[in-house]
């Protein structure tokens, strides 16, 4: 398996930036990992807050454990700002993931061709 393929698979299957770290592109990989981590943590935080609001509603007796009641609580717990932040964060995370795959493959190909020219 070539370095470019290995780096792209690591970035695609594990986490964005891992492929760059394997290719010794530490700064680029670290920045990519940090941006992806911040984006996914924002999504998880918002999801956790929504879930907590639903649990609080059920525990307080405000709502029952029926699907319709939980759906109603979910609709009430979300607001436009949270939805926008969650959407933007998810787009940033997906962009980091795709950039990580494509760029690590590109860097790996350049490194493979440089190694083959040295021989």
pLDDT at 102: 96
Q: What is the DSSP letter of 68?
A: H
CA–CA distance, 109 with 4 (Å, rounded to integer): 5
Q: What's the pLDDT at 79?
A: 67
CA distance 22 to 94: 21
For the chain, percent of residues with pLDDT exceeding 90: 55
Predicted confidence (pLDDT) per residue in 64-102, tens digit: 777 777 777 677 666 677 888 989 999 999 999 999 999
Domain boundaries defined on the chain: 26-109
In contact, 92 and 35? CB cutoff 8 Å: yes
Residue 14: pLDDT over 80: yes
């Amino acid at each position: 398996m070539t370095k470019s393929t290995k780096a792209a698979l690591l970035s695609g299957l594990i986490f964005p930036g891992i492929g760059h770290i394997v290719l010794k592109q530490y700064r680029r990989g670290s920045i990519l990992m940090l941006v992806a981590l911040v984006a996914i943590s924002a999504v998880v935080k918002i999801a956790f807050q929504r879930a907590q609001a639903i649990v609080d509603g059920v525990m307080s007796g405000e709502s029952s454990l029926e699907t319709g009641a939980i759906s109603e609580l979910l609709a009430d717990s979300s607001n436009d700002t949270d939805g926008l932040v969650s959407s933007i964060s998810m787009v940033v995370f997906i962009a980091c993931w795709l950039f990580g795959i494509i760029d690590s493959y590109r860097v790996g190909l350049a490194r493979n061709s440089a190694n083959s020219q040295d021989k």
